């Protein structure tokens, strides 16, 4: 592992520990099923890219570690909720997620529905309880709600549903990706900056960086679905073609999609070029481009 991989892994370990702590409820055993379902989807899952972005922007803005960590947990809860609900039979109907059974496969549909609801709710409680000023907490709640809501991630899911089986143009695909993936990544960068009381200029810079990373992330997803390794991905490839889904690869071809992703990563790098200590952010952008899962 190079030092940036170590940093990312360290952020992931820290956020997993913090999440585990926050999922500890002193309630009757009878409720354990839904809490187990929440744990199943939330803990030790994924690279924690969103949390890492909160924590790194928090570090760059000298935020308190605990304050930034609470917001990192909140964004990961919202991410996990969205995956649980996305996987449900009435949505994408996915049986697997990150190589293990999706939440409803492991706990049944009703528990998965409620586990998602519970994580979304807990995200807001976590932000409201963050060891930050009231003004920061309010702004964090607002940021999370806007990113998750109808004008953010949820809007992306709705557009996605509406596009099913239909040809989609590049503009719509850009909107869809900006909302579905971009909104949470942008919120992550913003939350880190908020925790450190960053000024408007840095908020704007962080936003442009995260927006470019988010779109590049989604484009590499499209590429991996065509050219990736199912084992490394922990899910089958070729599902977009099977579902007649329009992607960046369908619209621009494999090399066109790769080129667009590389352009975006270049843009992301330019955004943060002037920030001292930007090495991790630059590496994250390159990692998104080069990832194989």
Instruction: Note the residues at the interface with a second copy (CB under 8 A).
Output: 25, 27-28, 30-31, 33-35, 38, 81, 85, 88, 90-91, 108-111, 113-114, 116-118, 120-122, 124-125, 127-129, 133-135, 137-138, 141-142, 144-146, 148-151, 154-155, 157-159, 161-162, 175
- Of 168 and 261, the one with the shorter C-beta distance to a second copy is 168
Contact status, residue 67 vs residue 133, Cβ threshold 8 Å = no
- Of 3 and 142, the one with the shorter C-beta distance to a second copy is 142
- Reading the block at residue 225, the tokens are 């679905």
In whole angstroms, the minimum distance from the beta carbon of 125 to a second copy comes to 4
Beta strands, E only, 134-270: none
**What residue has token string 């199912």?**
230
**3-state SS assignment for residue 198:** coil
- The secondary element (H helix, E strand) that includes residue 72 is helix 65-87
**3-state SS assignment for residue 221:** helix
In whole angstroms, the minimum distance from the beta carbon of 154 to a second copy comes to 5
In whole angstroms, the minimum distance from the beta carbon of 228 to a second copy comes to 27
- Of 60 and 115, the one with the shorter C-beta distance to a second copy is 115
- Of 138 and 273, the one with the shorter C-beta distance to a second copy is 138
Picking from 194, 204, 199, 207, the residue whose alpha carbon sits closest to that of residue 63 is 194
What string of DSSP letters covers 86-150? HHSTTTT--SEETTEE-HHHHH-HHHHHHHHHHHHHHHHHHHHTSSS-HHHHHHHHHHHHHHHST
As a whole number of angstroms, the distance between CA 194 and CA 196 comes to: 5
In whole angstroms, the minimum distance from the beta carbon of 65 to a second copy comes to 21
- Of 24 and 199, the one with the shorter C-beta distance to a second copy is 24
In whole angstroms, the minimum distance from the beta carbon of 149 to a second copy comes to 4
- Of 91 and 273, the one with the shorter C-beta distance to a second copy is 91
- Reading the block at residue 61, the tokens are 């803005």
In whole angstroms, the minimum distance from the beta carbon of 242 to a second copy comes to 19
As a whole number of angstroms, the distance between CA 215 and CA 287 comes to: 14
Beta strands, E only, 4-61: none
């Amino acid at each position: 592992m190079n030092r940036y991989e170590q940093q990312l892994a360290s952020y992931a370990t820290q956020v997993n520990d913090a999440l585990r702590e926050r999922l500890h409820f002193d309630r009757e055993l009878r409720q354990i099923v839904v809490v187990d379902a929440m744990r199943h989807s939330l803990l030790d899952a994924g690279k924690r890219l969103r949390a890492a972005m909160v924590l790194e922007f928090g570090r760059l803005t000298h935020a308190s570690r605990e304050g930034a960590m609470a917001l990192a947990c909140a964004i990961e809860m919202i991410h996990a909720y969205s995956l649980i609900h996305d996987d449900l039979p009435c949505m994408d109907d996915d049986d697997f997620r990150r190589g293990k059974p999706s939440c409803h496969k492991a706990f049944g549909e009703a528990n998965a529905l409620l586990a998602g609801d519970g994580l979304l709710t807990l995200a807001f409680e976590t932000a409201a309880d963050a060891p930050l000023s009231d003004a920061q907490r309010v702004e964090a709640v607002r940021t999370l709600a806007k990113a998750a809501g109808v004008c953010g991630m949820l809007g992306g899911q709705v557009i996605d549903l509406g596009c099913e089986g239909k040809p989609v143009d590049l503009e719509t695909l850009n909107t869809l990706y900006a909302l579905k993936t971009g909104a949470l990544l942008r919120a992550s960068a913003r939350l880190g900056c908020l925790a450190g009381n960053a000024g408007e200029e840095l908020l704007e810079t962080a936003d442009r960086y995260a927006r470019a990373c988010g779109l590049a992330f989604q484009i590499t997803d499209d590429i991996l679905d065509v050219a990736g390794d199912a084992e490394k991905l922990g899910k089958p490839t070729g599902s977009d073609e099977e579902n007649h889904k329009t992607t960046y690869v369908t619209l621009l071809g494999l090399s066109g999609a790769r080129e667009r992703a590389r352009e975006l990563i270049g843009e992301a790098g330019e955004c943060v070029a002037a920030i001292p200590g930007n090495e991790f952010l630059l590496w994250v952008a390159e990692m998104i481009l080069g990832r194989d899962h």
